[in-house]
């Protein structure tokens, strides 16, 4: 696991090893934006699976808008 101390120790990268101790999965994110004090969200996310016997996969996400951080969701009852 990799963290970013400057962003409150948010996880920026997670690596999972397979039974052969090879990289099996990789999850990483970047381009963080602070939306509220001590709350940062990534703009870019990527997940990859590696299979050394056959093709793996890669999925990438780009968050274009993040809204209503720490705000109630309209039309939803509070659980408090």
Domains of the chain by residue range: 2-62
pLDDT score at 67: 83
Beta-carbon contacts of 57 under 8 Å, excluding residues fewer than 6 positions away, are: 48, 49
pTM for this entry:
0.71
pLDDT band at 72 (very low <50, low <70, confident <90, very high): confident
**Closest of 66, 48, 65 to residue 57, by C-alpha:** 48
pLDDT score at 6: 86
Per residue in 11-64, pLDDT tens? 899 999 988 898 999 999 999 998 888 888 999 999 999 987 777 899 999 999
């Amino acid at each position: 696991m990799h963290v970013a101390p400057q962003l409150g120790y948010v996880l920026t990268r997670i690596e999972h090893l397979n039974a052969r101790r090879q990289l099996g999965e990789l999850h990483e994110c970047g381009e963080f934006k602070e939306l509220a004090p001590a709350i940062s969200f990534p703009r870019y996310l990527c997940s990859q699976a590696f299979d050394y016997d056959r093709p793996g996969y890669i999925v990438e996400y780009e968050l274009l808008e993040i809204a209503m951080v720490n705000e109630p969701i309209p039309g939803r009852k509070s659980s408090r």
